[in-house]
Amino acid sequence: MNGLASGRTEFRWYAGKAFFAQFENSEILDADLTVDAVVEKSGDYIGVDCEIDGSLTVLCDRCLEDLVMPVSTGFMLSVKFGAETAESEEEMEEGREIVYLKEGEGVLDLCQIVYDYACLSLPIQRFHEAGGCNPVVMQYLNPQVVQESAESCAETPFASLKDLMNKE
């Protein structure tokens, strides 16, 4: 990053299944994310604005089928050089998270940060919208729920009896 030219530099890359596989996170089954980063360097200041958009595929908590979750998140960083000291207590600066890089290290691991933010953007509870779960799996997992919902629809004996009487 020290070797970066002053001014604005834009990066765009794609984070797919292979990107998440390297973090050995078994929760992410598939990924289709576009990462847009704008790095601004001015003197000692380096700011990183990053947007992450696309989708992540996880398991549905209810039916255990694939569930594609939309992802739209991002972060802003302020990169500082030198070791993080006890005095450097502030973690934020004008809405930016402060990241410390060792002098001479010169490489900011954006991958780890992108990964963290993408995973954090997922809700704790993940399931299909109403009616979107696999009915066969749901019946197997929780037969009682399926039976209850069957009674509320027109497939009950009473429903067909009512039809008969209407025809008379």
Footprint on this chain of Zn ion (rule: CB under 5 A):
60, 62-63, 128, 133
For the bound state, the minimum distance from the C-beta of residue 137 to Zn ion, rounded and expressed in Å, comes to: 8
Residue 67 or 99 with smaller CB distance to Zn ion = 67
- Token look-up 């929780």 returns 142
Residue 28 or 133 with smaller CB distance to Zn ion = 133
For the bound state, the minimum distance from the C-beta of residue 132 to Zn ion, rounded and expressed in Å, comes to: 6
For the bound state, the minimum distance from the C-beta of residue 123 to Zn ion, rounded and expressed in Å, comes to: 14
What one-character-per-residue DSSP string does 97-120 give? EEEEE-TTT----HHHHHHHHHHH
Residue 51 or 65 with smaller CB distance to Zn ion = 65
As a whole number of angstroms, the distance between CA 14 and CA 11 comes to 10
How buried is residue 70: exposed, middle or buried, by Cβ count under 10 Å (0-12/13-18/19+)? exposed
Q: Which amino acid is at 163?
A: D
